[in-house]
Amino acid sequence: MDITFDHVSFTYQAGTPFAGDGLKDVTTTIKDGSYTAIIGHTGSGKSTLLQHLNALLKPTAGTVTIGDRVITNETNNKNLKPIRREVGMVFQFAENQLFEQTVAKDIAFGPTNFGVPAEEAEKQAAAMVALVGLPPEVLEQSPFDLSGGQMRRVAIAGVLAMKPSVLVLDEPTAGLDPAGRAEMMTMFNRLHQEQGLTIVLVTHQMDDVADYADHVLVMDQGRLVKEGTPREIFQDADWLADHQLGLPKTAAMARRLTAQGFRFDPLPLTTAQLADQLLPQIGGPAHD
C-alpha cells in the first residue's frame, strides 16, 4: 500500500492566535514494502508528518493518498477505521497507552476494536508476546507490574496484533538500553524482511538509518529538504551538519580514515562494509 503526499501543508490550530507551522508543501511517496526513515532535528515536523500517515491529522492544504483513500482537509472523521487498521502506529513512549487489567487484554484491544472476536484476539496475543520477546507468563500480569522496557514491548505487541501492512514507528527505542534497542530493531527488520511489512521509522539514531532503511526523508522546519538512499543522504557530511544532523558511526569513521589517506568507494554505512573496504587497504586477507 503506497502512501503519497501531494503538496501537503499543515498548520496547527489554523485561524487562532495560537497557530503554528507543522508542514510546508511536502510531496513524497512511501512505497509499498519499503523501509523509510524520517530524520531531522527536533521540531522539524517529523511527528506531524507521521500523524498524516493514518489520518490522525488531516492536511490543511494538499492531499494524502493512503492506499486508495484520499485524505483532504474536508475528509470526514468517520470511516477512517480501515485506514487505521492498515497503518499501525507506535508512538513515542508507547508504554503510556497501556490501560487494561492484563497484558493479554491490552494486546487484544486493538484487534477487538477492528472487529476480531475477543477470544481469537486473546489467542493472538500469545503469539504477539512471543514475537516481541516476552515470556508467556506476562500475559496474565497487569501491564503496570512490568518494567518500562517490557511495557514498551507490550505496547508494540498491541499494535502488531492489528496485523497492519504499514508500521509507523516514532522513535520506538527511545529510552531503552542498548541490548533492548538492538533486539527491537532486529525484530522490526525481520518483520520487514519476512512479511514484507512497510516500515516508516522516525529516529535520531543515524546508525539505525544506515543499518536498516532503504529510503530516507530529511525534514527541516516543516519542509522535506532531501530524500534518497542512506548512501546519498550521508554522502555530504557538511550538508547534514548544517541541518543539525550527524553521520552514522561507520561513515564518520570512514571520513576520519579518508583524512588519513584511505579511500572508500562507495561510502561504507555498516561495520561490515567498512571492514570489507578497509582490509585490502591495510594488507589483510579478503573478508568473506
Partner 1 sequence: MTKLLLGRYLPGDSWVHKLDPRTKLMASFYYIGIIFLANNWQTYLLMFMATMVMVAASKIKLGFFLRGVRPMIWLILFTVMLQVFFTKGGATYWSWGWLAITQYGLTNGAFIFMRFVLIIFVSTLLTLTTQPLSLADAVESLLKPLRVLHVPVTELALVLQIALRFVPTLMDQTTKIMNAQRARGVDFGSGNLFQQMKAVVPLLIPLFVDSFGIAEDLATAMDARGYQGGDGRTKYRVLQYHRKDIVAGMIMAGLTIALIFLKA
Given 97, 141, 165, 235, the residue binding partner 1 (CB under 8 A): 97
Q: Where are the alpha helices (DSSP H) in the chain?
A: 46-52, 81-86, 103-113, 118-131, 148-160, 178-195, 206-212, 230-234, 237-242, 249-259, 271-281
CB-count exposure of residue 50 (10 Å: 0-12, 13-18, 19+): buried
User: How far is 32 from 165, CA to CA, in rounded Å?
Assistant: 9
Asked if residue 17 binds partner 1 (CB under 8 A), the reply is: yes
Nearer to partner 1, 63 or 142 (CB): 142
226 lies in the site for partner 1, by CB under 8 A: no
Please name every residue paired with 10 in a beta bridge, in sequence order, or none if there are none: 23
Give whichever of 82 and 228 is closer to partner 1, judged by the CB atom. Answer: 82
Q: Minimum CB separation from partner 1 for residue 119, in Å?
A: 18
Q: Of 59, 158, 172, 222, which lies in the binding site for partner 1, with binding defined by CB under 8 A?
A: 158
**The three-state (H, E, C) secondary structure of 13-61, written as one string:** CCCCCCCEEEEEEEEEEECCCCEEEEECCCCCCHHHHHHHCCCCCCCCE
Listed ranges 12-20, 180-188, 240-248, 265-273: which one lies at the site for partner 1 (CB under 8 A):
12-20
Are 203 and 39 a contacting pair, CB within 8 Å?
yes
**Residues in region 62-81 near partner 1 by CB under 8 A:** 78, 81
Which of 9, 34, 36, 51 binds partner 1 (CB under 8 A)? It is 51
Contact present, 153 and 173 (Cβ < 8 Å): no
User: Contact between 45 and partner 1 (CB under 8 A)?
Assistant: no
Residue 258, interface with partner 1 (CB under 8 A)? no
Q: Which is nearer to partner 1, 55 or 233 (CB)?
A: 55
- Interaction between residue 162 and partner 1 (CB under 8 A): yes
User: Is 98 a binder of partner 1 (CB under 8 A)?
Assistant: yes
Taking CB under 8 A as the criterion, the residue among 54, 173, 198, 205 binding partner 1 is: 54
- Pick the closer one to partner 1 by CB: 54 or 277: 54
Out of 137, 171, 194, 227, pick the active-site residue. Answer: 171
Residue 105 interacts with partner 1 (CB under 8 A): yes or no = no
- In the complex with partner 1, the residue whose CB is nearer, 79 or 260, is 79
Our finding on whether 154 is near partner 1 (CB under 8 A) is no
Q: Is 200 in the site for partner 1 (CB under 8 A)?
A: no
Query: Annotated catalytic, 122?
Result: no
In this structure, the number of other CB atoms found within 10 A of the CB of residue 227 comes to 17
- How far CA 100 is from CA of 25, 59, 107, 108, 213, in Å, comes to 40, 33, 9, 10, 34
10 binds partner 1 (CB under 8 A): no
Enter the DSSP assignment of 94.
G
Beta carbons within 8 Å of 284's beta carbon, 6+ residues apart: none
| Residues ≥6 apart with Cβ < 8 Å to 273 | 250
CB atoms within 10 A of CB 99: 10
Q: Alpha-carbon distance 37 to 254, whole Å? A: 22
Residues that bind partner 1 (CB under 8 A): 13, 16-18, 51, 54, 56, 78, 81, 84-85, 87-89, 91-92, 94, 96-99, 109-110, 113-114, 144, 158-159, 162
